[in-house]
Amino acid sequence: MERKYLYLDYLTCIGCETCETVCAFIHDGNPNIRIYVTENKQYVPINCKHCDDAPCLRVCPTHAIYRDEDGAVRIHEEKCIGCLACLQVCPYGVPFYSLKVKAITKCDMCADRREEGLEPACALMCPAEAIQYGPLEIVLELVKERRAKNIPEHQRELSDEELERSVISGYSVL
């Protein structure tokens, strides 16, 4: 299957909390995408980027972290020993340990929904269209199209290559 990306564009996000809300709704009140508030009151959703070169996947000693056929970085719960090595290396501090599941939990790109042919809920419901889901080419195109509507303060001169690196979160780990 074709690799899908789930890209959250901070230059477009208005911090409305819809993504966190719908994620919590479909996960019994425990969202995988969470809003953090910065010192100057920007509301910033933090979520797994399903990195192309995912440090968490590389570091996991028990190979509990794998990539599924759509490209989502996922957890084999029964293999996770809770060592938190993935949390140590995730640039975004995404994985967290669930005492209930007794394993790391994180965004699985709405795996259950994808099985039913539905897309990730946050991307479908974000009113600002700040979250794009799909194959790389389409995501890049939609991000560019949406960014063109941003105020100048939220536009950046990025080369296609730079934008692509941001979307795939392929900042190579030195």
Ligand X SMILES: Cc1cc2nc3c(=O)[nH]c(=O)nc-3n(C[C@H](O)[C@H](O)[C@H](O)COP(=O)(O)OP(=O)(O)OC[C@H]3O[C@@H](n4cnc5c(N)ncnc54)[C@H](O)[C@@H]3O)c2cc1C
Which residue sits closest to ligand X, CB atoms considered?
16
Taking alpha carbons only, the member of 5, 31, 8 closest to residue 131 is 8
101 to 59, 62, 85, 97, 121: CA distances (angstroms): 21, 17, 17, 8, 22
User: What's the distance, Cα to Cα, between the start and end of the chain in Å?
Assistant: 30
Question: Which CB atom, from 16 or from 136, has the smaller least distance to ligand X?
Answer: 16
Q: Of 14 and 101, which has the nearer Cβ to ligand X? A: 14
Residue 59 interacts with ligand X (CB under 6 A): yes or no: no
Q: Which stretch binds another protein (CB under 8 A): 17-25, 50-58, 80-88, 93-101?
A: 17-25
Q: Which residue has the tokens 């019994």?
A: 28
User: Is the sign of the CA dihedral 42, 48, 52, 53 positive or negative?
Assistant: positive
- Pair of tokens at residue 139: 């995501």
Contacts of another protein in 23-62 (CB under 8 A) = 24-26, 38, 40-42
Residue 11 makes contact with ligand X by CB under 6 A:
no
CA distance 126 to 114: 18
CB 51 to ligand SF4: min, Å? 3
List of residues contacting ligand SF4 (CB under 6 A): 8, 13-19, 45, 48-51, 54-56, 73, 90, 92, 94-95, 106, 126, 128, 130-131
Of residues 131 and 168, the one with the C-beta less far from ligand X: 131
Per-residue x/- mask for another protein, residues 131 to 170, rule CB under 8 A?
-----------x--xx--xxx-xx----------------
Contact call for residues 94 and 46 (beta carbons, < 8 A): yes
